[in-house]
Amino acid sequence: MALLLFTGYAVRVARTGLTASDEAELADEVQRRAIAQRVAVDVGLIVLGLVLLAVGARFLVAGAVTIAQFAGLSERVIGLTIVAAGTSLPELAASVVAARRGQPDIALANVIGSNVFNVLGILGVVGLVEPQAVNPQIVASDNWWMVGTAFVLLPLMATGMRVSRLEGLALLAAYVTYVALLL
């Protein structure tokens, strides 16, 4: 019965054709479904990305500990170098893309926001999950480097509110110096 009704409807539409309003309504419906499908795909990709991120974090920590033991370096040094660089690569990529697209606010805000989140958000969550003892060496040395870099940014931002190539080179040289002092 349903097949007969559908056949009759299809014949009628084929003979009379769709009106302009029918075509517009059909186009709107197709567009709504396409958007809904895209949102579903995007949500799925976010979930997949979070799962892969969690798995990758486990491998990153395990690999870093193995390297530390093999090289005779402390976990502190590995955490301040390899793990820090590995977890900062997404920020680097996002900031470079934003800078190339002429979006300096996103490039800089990404770096600052990421650091604020790392210090406040991540340390807060870690403390809630498992309270941690703070290595006195981090407080005595590395913490001052972190505070110092925050103060270094202030005059850099005063130079036209942009980081020049020379300033970028100076920042990279400061990081290389920091890593060299760690080793």
For the stretch 55-71, pLDDT in tens is 888 888 888 888 888 88
pLDDT at 141 over 60: yes
Residue 143 lies inside a defined structural domain of this protein = yes
Q: Name the nearest CA neighbour of 103 among 112, 113, 94.
A: 94
pLDDT at 49 over 80: yes
**33 and 84 together in one domain:** no
**101 and 88 together in one domain:** yes
Residue 7 lies inside a defined structural domain of this protein = no
Q: Name the nearest CA neighbour of 92 among 77, 79, 109, 110.
A: 110
**52 and 124 together in one domain:** no
60: amino acid identity, one letter: L
**99 and 65 together in one domain:** no
Residue 131 lies inside a defined structural domain of this protein = yes
Out of 50, 71, 92, pick the residue that ends a domain. 71
Residue 183 lies inside a defined structural domain of this protein = yes
pLDDT at 9 over 80: no
**24 and 79 together in one domain:** no
CB 70 within 8 A of CB 97: no
Determine the Cα–Cα distance for residues 64 and 79; give it in Å rounded to an integer. Answer: 8
**60 and 86 together in one domain:** no
166, two tokens: 């020379």
CB 88 within 8 A of CB 111: no
Into how many domains does the chain fold? Answer: 2
Residue 171 lies inside a defined structural domain of this protein = yes
**135 and 170 together in one domain:** yes
**143 and 155 together in one domain:** yes
10 Å CB burial of residue 118 (0-12, 13-18, 19+) is middle
3-state helix, strand, coil in the chain (%, to 5): 85, 0, 15
Which residue's structure tokens are 């590395």? 142
**99 and 125 together in one domain:** yes
In sequence order, the 6+-apart residues with CB closer than 8 A to the CB of 126 are 132
How does residue 176 score in pLDDT terms, banded at 50, 70 and 90? Answer: very high
Residue 151 lies inside a defined structural domain of this protein = yes
83: amino acid identity, one letter: V
Domain extent at residue 97: 73-183
How does residue 19 score in pLDDT terms, banded at 50, 70 and 90? Answer: low
In sequence order, the 6+-apart residues with CB closer than 8 A to the CB of 152 are 171, 174
Residue 14 lies inside a defined structural domain of this protein = no
Please indicate whether residue 135 or residue 7 has the higher confidence score (pLDDT).
135
How does residue 11 score in pLDDT terms, banded at 50, 70 and 90? Answer: low
> pTM here?
0.64
How does residue 163 score in pLDDT terms, banded at 50, 70 and 90? Answer: confident
115, two tokens: 């650091």
**83 and 32 together in one domain:** no
**65 and 118 together in one domain:** no
